[in-house]
Amino acid sequence: MGLFRKKRPVMQLSREEALNCIPVKSAAIQATQTPEGMVRLRYPLVLKPWIAELAQRFSGAQYTPPSRQLELDELGSLTWDLINGKQTVRGIVRQFSGQTQVHPKEAEAAVTRFLRELGRRGIVGMAPGRKQ
């Protein structure tokens, strides 16, 4: 029975390893610019497999998975624009700090928290970067 399976341990990265990772945007994301210059993200809602199958069975032939929208503020939009699939988190933090005149430690905390939340929603993934 699968009720009491142990969860696999999550690999913890050190601060240096995390800053050397490269954020990559998910291909399933649709990003649009609002008239105010902010970024609006539309992303598919990740459902548990049994819920998705149930929804597909009861919805008919034309099932489209549900999606969500997330409108980023000015700083979130800036960070989103800095994610290019080539630059490390450390590089994004440096650019963010320089463009917003924020102390580097505060920029690191804000950018990593933002990337962690986007990762939790499946909007970005992290690719291992090279070691320095």
Q: Which helix (H) or strand (E) holds 50?
A: helix 49-59
pLDDT tens digits for 113-132? 999 999 998 899 999 877 65
For the entire predicted model, the pTM comes to 0.78
Q: What is the dihedral of CA 82, 115, 96, 30, to 10 degrees?
A: 30
pLDDT tens digits for 46-96? 777 777 777 777 776 666 777 889 999 999 999 999 999 999 999 999 999
Tokens of 64: 């489209």
79 Cβ contact partners less than 8 Å away, ≥ 6 residues apart: 72, 92, 96, 111, 114, 115
Cα distance between residue 55 and residue 44, in whole Å: 14
